[in-house]
Structure 1
Amino acid sequence: MTLPTHMDDILKLAEETGAALAPLAAGVDAGLTDGQETYRILRDAGLLGLLLPREAGGAGLGYGGYSRVLAVLGAHNGAAALGFNMHNVVMGALADAAATPLPPAADRFRSWMNDEVVRGRKLFASATSETGRGAKLRGVRTSYTLSEDRETYVITGEKSFVSLARIADYYVVAARAEGTEGSSEVSHFVVAADDPGITFGTVHSMSAMNGTSTATMTLDHVPVPRSRLYLGVEGMSLFKLVREPHWMIAGYTGAYLGIAEAVYRCTADYVAASDARAGSPVLQQDLGRMSARLRAARALVHEAGDLVDAERGSMEANAMVHAAKYIVGEVGPELAHDALRICGSAAVSRSQPLERLIREVSFSSVMPAKPHECLEYLGKAAVGVNLYDARAFAW
């Protein structure tokens, strides 16, 4: 499927895809079905290549446009949007290098990955988090060695909370060279779901976001050909994150903005369904307050995304994406609180989508970067700390 390249057409495709995903959300949330059909719809829509360059068959979408698309999907099916983002966190760094001349090995890797996504419709996911460390790269315990012929890496470790477990075709695994505990040099490798030595634990039954199909991944001496070293370079992952943190720390932001939009929409529909409620000045003011908060969050997310596209890696762009992640994480639960107060029993009935949305929107604070990390980053930036120094922040 050829993706549209005009933003209005891309948003229309996202809206159509979101409408197809929406009916699946309740069943997956309740554990009645798995997420396979959700991700089949995303594959068939062609959206997996959204960030890849047009010459490779993608839409060439930047970070700002992507945030808008993710919000559209999130408003229909939050868990699907989060799972889709796990694919694009991986694609984002590749897309950032789209116009950059690369050494032969890195160029071959880029071409292979583009082809797997666009023509093979392969789904990728990130496997970074570890128990006790979260998604922080510094101190990652998963390790690798290089074979004597220097053609194969062997990876050993355990990843926690891996999204798209048993659904993705490939997982991009963060690991450090064996014997380099605490080092800033972290690498990423692409492992296939069926590579020998990979096993998944039971998919977690969570209070929300079951559609992300999250489980523990164990890597027991998994052999990975040298060609699947991400962009052909060892040891540069943390330095990329420090310079350009938008994908890792704020890729989720659009999804949670979309869920917040859905919370507001459900609340407004509830009020509008009754002439008495719709005519109440008190409820009108409540909806006005919700609308103002949501508009402010949306404007900040859009501004941050556009700034990343214009000045990727600048200190102001990096600060803006942290600010946007923090504000969306604050506004979503605030809107949920308002919805509970306004809608009452309609907000807590399992038969209503608002109940699920209220549970889901609170998970923003769990995803990186967490609220206190966003504030610390912004505070350090305010007093002039050099945040390009990997030692200045707990990455």
Structure 2
Amino acid sequence: MTTTATLPATLDDLLKLAEETGRILAPLAADVDAQRDNGHEAYRILRESGLLGLLVPREAGGAGLGFADYSRVLAALGAHNGAAALGYNMHNVVIGALSESVGTQLPPSAETFRAWMFDEVVNGRKLFASATSEAGTGAKLRGIRTSYRRSEDGQHYVLNGEKSFVSLAGAADYYIVVARAEGTEGSSEVSHFVVAADDPGVSFGEVHNLSALYGTSTAAMKLDEVTVPRSRLYLGVEGMSLFKLVREPHWMAAGYTGAYLGIAEAVYRCTVDYVAASPKRADSPVMQRDLGRMSARLRAARALVHEAGAHVDTQRGSLEANAMVHAAKYIVGEVGPALAQDAVRICGSAAVSRAQPLERYIREVAFSAVMPAKPDECLEYVGKAALGVNLYNAQAFEW
């Protein structure tokens, strides 16, 4: 097995690597968005860049980034290819939560599991994805219907069910599948399992015909008597997934935020370039005020995303950190579409021309509201935190 090159040691160099990788990904976006390509080439490029190991601890061969710096790297990628950045985030939602468990005393089976996954990412260049959402319940764990049971020999788990929206379908090597024990419908105890793309009984439907972000390669997933060894139970513990989400919701609630911040940055950058290309426009006080308003909104969103990330890194699991990431997700979801409206008004036909990347960014930035946590959920969480509601109680929020 070939070992990947060591990732840069500093954030500046990692951002430079992300920028260089983003420039390579950028030309692919138009063909993928127009469904002339399936988008898998973008994920091959991300594998080769070494960035799959961004969150893996340094002692395990990764870059060891925390949540705040990860958001910066993700934004750098999103500014060039939004779909690839969102797909890449699905990998890191899985790896980030695992990396944060380092330093926590765990049973030997969990240590073995973690070492295996890190090795698969760093040395095997394997791409992971999350398989959570189901029809009617979305990503809310309490409503999950996919089930599992122990095999007769007690050494395996057998999974059955359907997932409605699985990103990286056909592109990832492994999928982290959320399921509940058979006969426990309505229970808050759900578990995660690592399912390989080539495990017998795993199949995918056609990639969804999305109006934007087609490059996330999102499709339905079916699990028909899929058998996995006990060693592929996430961290070797059953029934703890909802508890983990309630305590530390940042990956589920706000992992996407950096990508959408990057797309919003691209909307602003394209608008500035349009105005700057004409001396008449550039000298107009009206245009200057318009760009100033866009810049102020974007700066405020960026500052909140960075502050929320810093809270996660220093106070992970605190109510303040959890409220901050929900606030950041909400604000980015508001600012991005507002910038898009400004861009349409300022750039006119240039904003709707398929020949220009701005048209794609405008479509993409609107979809922040679709990704969990949704705007109303973010506001409800922040409001409950302000009122002192115990958000560590799994019954206090509709997970």
TM-score by length of 2: 0.99
Alignment of 1:231 with 2:235, yes or no, is yes
Alignment of 1:264 with 2:235, yes or no, is no
Q: Residues 244-263 of structure 1, C-alpha deviation per residue, up to 9 Å, x if partnerless?
A: 00001100000000000000
SS in 2 for 1:261: helix
SS in 2 for 1:122: coil
Report the AA paired with residue 199 of structure 1: S
Alignment of 1:111-130 (within 5 A): 111-130=115-134
Q: Residues 18-73 of structure 1, C-alpha deviation per residue, up to 9 Å, x if partnerless?
A: 11111111110001111121001100000001000001000000000100000000
Alignment of 1:290 with 2:285, yes or no, is no
Q: How far apart are the structure 2 equivalents of 1:154 and 1:99? A: 31
Q: Which residue does 1:366 correspond to in 2?
A: 370
Report the AA paired with residue 125 of structure 1: A
Report the AA paired with residue 120 of structure 2: E
Q: How far apart are the structure 1 equivalents of 2:185 and 2:393? A: 19
For residue 139 of structure 1, report the CA deviation from its aligned partner.
1.7
- The equivalent position to 1:15 in structure 2, one of 5, 16, 19, is 19
Deviates more, 1:99-108 or 1:381-390: 99-108
Alignment of 1:98-247 (within 5 A): 98-247=102-251
Q: Which residue does 1:379 correspond to in 2?
A: 383
| Aligned-CA RMSD value | 0.5
Contact 1:5/1:60 (<8 A) preserved: no
- The equivalent position to 1:78 in structure 2, one of 62, 75, 82, is 82
Report the AA paired with residue 16 of structure 1: E
Q: Which residue does 2:317 correspond to in 1?
A: 313
Alignment of 1:29-108 (within 5 A): 29-108=33-112
For residue 77 of structure 1, report the CA deviation from its aligned partner.
0.4
Report the AA paired with residue 22 of structure 1: A
Report the AA paired with residue 85 of structure 1: N
For residue 227 of structure 1, report the CA deviation from its aligned partner.
0.2
For residue 101 of structure 1, report the CA deviation from its aligned partner.
2.6
Q: How far apart are the structure 2 equivalents of 1:354 and 1:132? A: 33
* Structure 2 residues without counterparts, runs of 5 or longer: none
Q: How far apart are the structure 1 equivalents of 2:394 and 2:368? A: 25
Q: Residues 213-261 of structure 1, C-alpha deviation per residue, up to 9 Å, x if partnerless?
A: 0000000010010000000000000000000000011000000000000
For residue 167 of structure 1, report the CA deviation from its aligned partner.
0.4
For residue 150 of structure 1, report the CA deviation from its aligned partner.
1.3
SS in 2 for 1:76: coil
SS in 1 for 2:152: coil
Q: How far apart are the structure 1 equivalents of 2:68 and 2:154? A: 40
Contact 1:138/1:183 (<8 A) preserved: yes
TM-score by length of 1: 0.99
Q: Residues 85-110 of structure 1, C-alpha deviation per residue, up to 9 Å, x if partnerless?
A: 00000001101112223211001100
Q: How far apart are the structure 2 equivalents of 1:64 and 1:350? A: 34
Q: How far apart are the structure 2 equivalents of 1:16 and 1:354? A: 20
Contact 1:157/1:218 (<8 A) preserved: yes
SS in 2 for 1:196: coil
Report the AA paired with residue 86 of structure 1: M
Q: How far apart are the structure 2 equivalents of 1:35 and 1:139? A: 31
Q: How far apart are the structure 2 equivalents of 1:187 and 1:297? A: 34
Percent of pairs identical after alignment?
78
Q: How far apart are the structure 1 equivalents of 2:327 and 2:197? A: 35
Q: Which residue does 1:335 correspond to in 2?
A: 339
Contact 1:329/1:362 (<8 A) preserved: yes
For residue 148 of structure 1, report the CA deviation from its aligned partner.
2.2
Contact 1:263/1:358 (<8 A) preserved: yes
Contact 1:271/1:283 (<8 A) preserved: yes
Q: Which runs of at least 4 in structure 1 moved beyond 3 Å after TM superposition? A: none
SS in 2 for 1:344: helix
Report the AA paired with residue 393 of structure 2: D
Q: How far apart are the structure 1 equivalents of 2:134 and 2:56? A: 29
Q: How far apart are the structure 1 equivalents of 2:163 and 2:258? A: 25
The count of corresponding residues between Structure 1 and Structure 2 is 395
* Structure 1 residues without counterparts, runs of 5 or longer: none
Q: How far apart are the structure 2 equivalents of 1:58 and 1:225? A: 26
Report the AA paired with residue 11 of structure 2: M
Contact 1:308/1:318 (<8 A) preserved: yes
Q: Residues 286-323 of structure 1, C-alpha deviation per residue, up to 9 Å, x if partnerless?
A: 00000000000000000000110000000000000000
Q: How far apart are the structure 2 equivalents of 1:10 and 1:99? A: 24
Report the AA paired with residue 254 of structure 1: G
